């Protein structure tokens, strides 16, 4: 399997600028492949201040572009293309931003892009995704944290990896919150999806995947869940081929 994937848990750390903590790892990933032009997928962006979804996409593109201006990396959003399939076919790199995963997948199916992006990504084109963009690389989006603000054609995603990711994974509920913990919700998922594995990807962590080799990186361990098995911690730097 030919894959070059960078799957990031989160875009922003508390108190930091947008993409501040992960900008360097993204630019290094792009430079590894001598890439300075990126096809950006903004469909997860639903801007609360916008009057239209088109405005949301323009604002999202500009927000990401400002981050990479000093690196001479050009962010070109797919929503500008009259033929988005052709845009994917000619892309040198695909970058998928975070936001609402259901809206992201809804738009990808609406524009008939899911299969095209998957095929391009499995041919080795670099793929970068954070938060919802990391969810998109999984077999399904069933372990997203988002509300289903729209109903996509399917919950099936790109299936670039054979396990699920839960981005922004936290170990405990906030004080005075009586609902389920994140771990309990993941274990519910495994009761009805017994053959699947789920990786709780804590903030400040990411996966680098090259072909069949996969590494967890960042400043925290990840938590791996399987049905009827005690969850275990995976250390940063560990080769994830074991899962």
Q: What is the pTM of this model?
A: 0.94
Q: Which residue is catalytic, options 71, 146, 172, 212?
A: 146
* Residue-wise pLDDT tens digits, 115-167: 999 999 999 999 999 999 999 999 999 999 999 999 999 999 999 999 999 99
Instruction: Give the C-alpha distances (Å, rounded to integers) separating 194 from 26, 161, 181, 188, 225.
Output: 34, 17, 19, 10, 11
Range of the domain at 173: 4-242
Percent of the chain with pLDDT over 90: 87
Tokens of 99: 């936001």
Number of domains in the chain: 1
Catalytic annotation present for 52: no
- Give dist(CA 141, CA 163) in Å, integer: 11
In degrees and rounded to multiples of 5, residue 198 shows phi and psi of -130, 130
Identify which of 198, 216, 199, 218 has the alpha carbon closest to the alpha carbon of residue 207: 216
Catalytic annotation present for 168: yes
Q: Which residue is catalytic, options 49, 131, 162, 172?
A: 131
Catalytic annotation present for 131: yes
Average pLDDT taken over every residue of the chain: 93
DSSP designation for 71: G
Whether 54 shows a pLDDT value over 70: the answer reads no
Q: Is 34 exposed, middle or buried (0-12, 13-18, 19+ CB in 10 A)?
A: exposed
SS3 184: helix
Q: Which residue is catalytic, options 168, 172, 195, 219?
A: 168
Q: Is 169 exposed, middle or buried (0-12, 13-18, 19+ CB in 10 A)?
A: buried
Q: Is 153 exposed, middle or buried (0-12, 13-18, 19+ CB in 10 A)?
A: exposed
Residue 234: CATH number of its domain: 3.40.50.880
Whether 232 shows a pLDDT value over 60: the answer reads yes
Whether 179 shows a pLDDT value over 90: the answer reads no
* Residue-wise pLDDT tens digits, 57-87: 999 999 999 999 999 999 999 999 999 999 9
Cβ-Cβ contacts under 8 Å for 194 (sequence gap 6 or more): 227, 228
Tokens of 163: 């396990």
- E strands, 45-96, are 74-77, 94-96
- E strands, 27-179, are 37-41, 74-77, 94-96, 127-130, 164-169
Binning pLDDT at 50, 70 and 90, where does residue 180 land? confident
pLDDT at 228: 96
Whether the Cβ atoms of residue 50 and residue 56 lie closer than 8 Å to each other: yes
Half-sphere exposure of 236 (CA within 13 A, CB side): 10
Tokens of 19: 């993409």
pLDDT at 47: 75
In the chain, the largest separation of any two C-alpha atoms, in whole Å, equals 50
Whether 239 shows a pLDDT value over 80: the answer reads no
The answer to whether the Cα torsion of 61, 68, 96, 46 is positive or negative is negative
Which ranges in 70-192 belong to alpha helices (H)? Answer: 84-89, 101-110, 114-121, 132-136, 182-192
């Amino acid at each position: 399997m030919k894959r070059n994937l960078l799957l990031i848990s989160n875009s922003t750390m508390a108190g930091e600028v947008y993409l501040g903590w992960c900008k360097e790892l993204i630019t290094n990933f792009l430079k590894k492949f001598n890439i300075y032009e990126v096809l950006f997928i903004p469909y997860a962006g639903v801007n609360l201040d916008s009057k239209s979804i088109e405005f949301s996409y323009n604002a999202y593109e500009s927000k990401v572009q400002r981050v990479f201006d000093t690196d001479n990396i050009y962010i070109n959003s797919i929503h500008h293309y009259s033929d988005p399939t052709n845009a994917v076919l000619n892309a040198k790199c695909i970058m998928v931003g975070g936001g609402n995963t259901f809206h992201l997948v809804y738009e990808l199916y609406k524009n008939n892009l899911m299969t095209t992006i998957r095929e391009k990504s499995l041919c080795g084109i670099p793929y970068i995704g954070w938060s919802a963009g990391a969810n998109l690389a999984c077999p399904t989006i069933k372990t997203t944290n988002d509300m289903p603000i729209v109903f996509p054609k399917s919950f099936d995603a790109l299936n670039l990896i054979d396990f699920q990711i839960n981005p922004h994974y936290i170990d405990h509920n906030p004080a005075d919150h009586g609902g389920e913990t994140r771990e309990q919700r993941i274990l519910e998922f495994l009761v009805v999806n017994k053959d699947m594995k789920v990786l709780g990807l804590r903030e400040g962590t990411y996966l680098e995947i090259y072909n069949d080799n996969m590494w967890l990186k960042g400043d925290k361990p990840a938590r791996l869940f399987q049905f009827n098995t005690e969850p275990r911690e995976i250390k940063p730097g560990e080769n994830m081929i074991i899962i």
